[in-house]
Amino acid sequence: ATALLDGAAAAFAGLGMANWEARARAARDAVAGASGRAGAPALPAGLTEREAGVLRLVARGLADRQVADAIFVSPRTVHSHVRHLLAKTGTANRTELSVWAVQHGLVDPADPSATESG
C-alpha cells in the first residue's frame, strides 16, 4: 500500500495537484505507521504518530487548512496539534518546528515535497 501511495503522490506532484499529493502522503504516513510500529523506535519528544504526520505536513509548508484537508480534520484540530508539537519540542514557531523535524529525521530535506507550499 505504501508503494502505491508513494506512486500516487508522485503522480499528483507531477500534475501540480499539491492538495491531493499531500493527502496521498498523509495516507501513506498513516499506513506506514499502522503497519508495525511495535518494532520501530519511539518517536522523538514523545510525539504520537498523528502528531508526527501533522509535523511532516507543517514542515512542507502547508497551512492549517491544507493540513486539515489532507488528514480530514478541522483546522482547529490541526492548530491544537501544532500547539502540542511546539510544547513537546520546545520550539517557538512553525519555522523552528520544521527545522526541529529535519534535525530529528522526521522530514528528509532532500525530498522535493518537503519545501512545497501547496
DSSP 13-36: HHTT-HHHHHHHHHHHHHHHHHS-
pLDDT of residue 41: 61
Average pLDDT over residues 77-105: 95
CA distance 89 to 31: 24
Residue, of 29 and 104, whose pLDDT is higher:
104
| pLDDT bucket at 34, cuts 50 / 70 / 90 | low
C-alpha gyration radius of the chain: 13
Model's pTM, two decimal places? 0.65
pLDDT of residue 35: 58
Whether 100 shows a pLDDT value over 80: the answer reads yes
| pLDDT bucket at 110, cuts 50 / 70 / 90 | confident
